[in-house]
């Protein structure tokens, strides 16, 4: 936003009047506020309140926000079925102006809709908003926390057309890797992979289906690349030879260790 600003006055207006947020936990609220102040935002329009208790239409009127970002609390749905990640996402969508964009980073399970409550929310989202696509992320994105995340992108206030083509991207190979004693670190390939992702998302490049699947969707679908992807690539002769060699090596090892019965062969002792 600052890079697109025309002058310093507009930059100050962005910092003071165009960033809003809610955080229920007082400790995290204090950390977030201090972080924004230290980064020179000018004024932190953060509220130490429960976002789900806010009235969406009032938020639209008060903030007139056309972009919404959210990393909702995870696994709260196990405690209260009204606190699922998809419920938070729907509330945010309802709080953004028509035509605005909403981006949420949630567990992949939020896109599958296992419970009847989650399925109902997914159906309701499509009645009022549009799903643009979902990006499956590196399983170690939240290193140390066992969750498989994804990013979902929506357009608020516009009902999802049944013929709408959505993008489902597998970005697990994002150029970040776990290194011993360091955790998740950026490799030299990360920037190039991100640039490739953005070009595919913006339709500047066509990608193979193993990276991006473009398709219409149904409410009951699992909104993930793995659900829509079908491996239609014919194996090369070299791949076939390698697979056969691996199998024969495995079979030989089993037989030499007296486990020939796995392949319908009698053990030598049994034969005697």
Q: Does the global pTM surpass 0.85?
A: no
Given this model, what pLDDT does residue 103 score? 98
Convert the pLDDT of each residue in 124-147 to its tens digit.
999 999 999 999 999 999 988 878
Gyration radius of the chain's alpha carbons: 24
The answer to whether the CB of 190 falls within 8 A of the CB of 174 is yes
Residue 46: CB atoms within 10 Å: 18
Question: What is the average per-residue pLDDT within 103-123?
Answer: 93
Convert the pLDDT of each residue in 48-78 to its tens digit.
999 999 999 999 999 999 999 999 988 787 7
Convert the pLDDT of each residue in 181-207 to its tens digit.
888 999 999 999 999 999 999 999 999
Convert the pLDDT of each residue in 209-237 to its tens digit.
999 999 999 999 999 999 999 876 677 88
């Amino acid at each position: 936003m600052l890079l697109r600003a025309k002058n310093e006055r507009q930059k100050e207006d962005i910092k003071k009047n165009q960033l809003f947020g809610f955080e229920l936990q007082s400790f995290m609220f204090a950390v977030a506020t201090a972080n924004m102040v230290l980064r020179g935002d000018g004024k932190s329009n953060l509220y130490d309140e429960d976002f789900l208790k806010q009235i969406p239409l009032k938020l639209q009127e008060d903030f007139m926000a056309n972009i919404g970002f959210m990393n909702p609390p995870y696994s709260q749905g196990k405690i209260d079925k009204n606190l699922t990640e998809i419920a938070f996402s729907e509330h945010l969508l309802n709080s953004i102006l028509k035509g605005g964009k909403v981006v949420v980073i949630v567990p992949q399970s939020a896109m599958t809709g296992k419970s009847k409550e989650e399925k109902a929310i997914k159906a309701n989202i499509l009645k009022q908003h549009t799903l643009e696509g979902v990006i499956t992320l590196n399983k170690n994105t939240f290193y140390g926390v066992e969750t498989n995340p994804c990013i979902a992108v929506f357009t608020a206030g516009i009902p999802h057309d049944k013929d709408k083509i959505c993008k489902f991207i597998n970005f697990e190979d994002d150029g970040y890797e776990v290194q011993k004693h360091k955790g998740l670190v950026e490799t030299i390939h990360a920037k190039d992979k991100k640039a490739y992702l953005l070009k595919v998302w913006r339709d500047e490049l066509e990608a193979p289906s193993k990276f991006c699947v473009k398709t219409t969707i149904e409410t009951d679908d699992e909104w993930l690349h793995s659900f829509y992807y079908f491996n239609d690539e014919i194996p090369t002769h070299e791949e076939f030879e390698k697979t056969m060699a691996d199998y024969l090596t495995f079979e030989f090892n089993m037989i030499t260790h007296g486990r020939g019965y796995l392949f319908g062969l009698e053990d030598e002792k049994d034969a005697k």
